[in-house]
Amino acid sequence: MSLSVFGFRAMWSPTFIGVLLFITVIYFLVTIKWRKDFKNSTPLTKYQVVCFLLALLSLYIIKGSPVNLLSHIMFTMHMVQMALLLLLVPPLLIKGIPNYLWQYLIDLPIIKPVFRFLTKPVVALIVFAAFFSFYHIPLIFDFVKLEETLHGIVTLLLFLSAIFMYWPLVNTLENQPKMKGLHKVGYLIGNAVLITPACAMIIFASAPMYATYTDGEIWMKAMALCVPAGTLAGLTQLSGPELFTNMSPINDQQLGGVLMKILQEVIFGIILSKVFYEWYRNERENADQITQEALLERQRLRENEYR
């Protein structure tokens, strides 16, 4: 059965497009027209614009396009959605928002102590991994999937935990703690290790664990999160997600767990390659500086000998 039976609104989320366009307009107004109202503001760079627009485009593809609809039909697509939402969008967003805006936000009295605590590397790792694992416990997952407001809150909190997790890695604020060199490698490895048990539970389960992908009645209730109620009421021929895929529920679940780990490794691999490049460049610069200082010292010694 084609996804078109759910209608244009469910497939392309025009309201979400409007929200993202509104955010884009506010972004350019704040960073260009109202920039001078902020302390230590700097001109917007092309790199920041590209990162921000890529973050919003990725967010729309993940949560507004048919990918979002498919994530309610196939567990595989849900895990792909989670991987991209939590591992790809946050670093783009951090890089896309200028430092002076981050500083303004972080310095707000109600945010400052919470942000300082939750962006400590060990805390950020544990909170992100624990939240991700907790959410994918079958009883909790199925309950959240049936409550639209709760699902939105949980998704937002998961996304914020991913922001906190990435912050020590990619932020460039002068007064914020940063990780250097091989510490970043250990941090990424630790992240990969901590969410492995949740993925392993999904991959090696002997039977499907999530009722929202196997029970037709519960699945229909969960579909209300992304399909208008009026549209669902008219689709009396639907009996479950099996109408849209030939994959068995257990294979769908296992593939979802595998893809989550693969996408994590790919994204972290790209970040690691950048970390190693920066580490190599810094070491090379330090070595060149030491060599230059040694040459200057030798030259001074020779000049003293001639005198």
The one-letter amino acid code at 211 reads: A
Q: Residue 132 — very low, low, confident or very high, per pLDDT cuts 50/70/90?
A: very high
Q: Which two tokens stand for residue 131?
A: 């939240």
Task: Tell me, letter by letter, the H, E, C secondary structure of 195-232.
Answer: CHHHHHHHHCCCCCCCHHHCCHHHHHHHHCCCCCHHHH
| Phi-psi domain of 269 (left: phi exceeds 0; alpha: psi -120 through 50; beta: other) | alpha
Q: CA-to-CA distance for 114 and 174, rounded, in angstroms? A: 19
What is the per-residue pLDDT across 197-222, written as a single tens digit (0 to 9) for each? 999 999 999 999 999 999 989 999 99
Rounded (10°) angle between helices 89-96 and 75-87: 30
Q: What does the pLDDT read at residue 306? A: 63
What is the per-residue pLDDT across 144-178, written as a single tens digit (0 to 9) for each? 999 999 999 999 999 999 999 999 999 989 888 77
The answer to whether the beta carbons of residues 60 and 22 sit under 8 Å apart is: no
Q: 254 Cβ partners below 8 Å, 6+ apart?
A: 202, 203, 204, 205
Q: Residue 288 — very low, low, confident or very high, per pLDDT cuts 50/70/90?
A: low
What is the per-residue pLDDT across 230-286, written as a single tens digit (0 to 9) for each? 888 888 778 888 889 889 999 999 999 999 999 999 999 998 888 888 777 777 777
Q: What does the pLDDT read at residue 280? A: 76
Q: How far is CA 132 from CA 8, 140, 157, in A?
A: 31, 11, 10
The whole-model pTM stands at: 0.90
Task: Tell me, letter by letter, the H, E, C secondary structure of 9-51.
Answer: HHHHCHHHHHHHHHHHHHHHHHHHHCHHHCCCCCCCCHHHHHH
Average pLDDT over every residue of 90-116: 95
The one-letter amino acid code at 236 reads: T
| pLDDT above 90 coverage of the chain, percent | 73
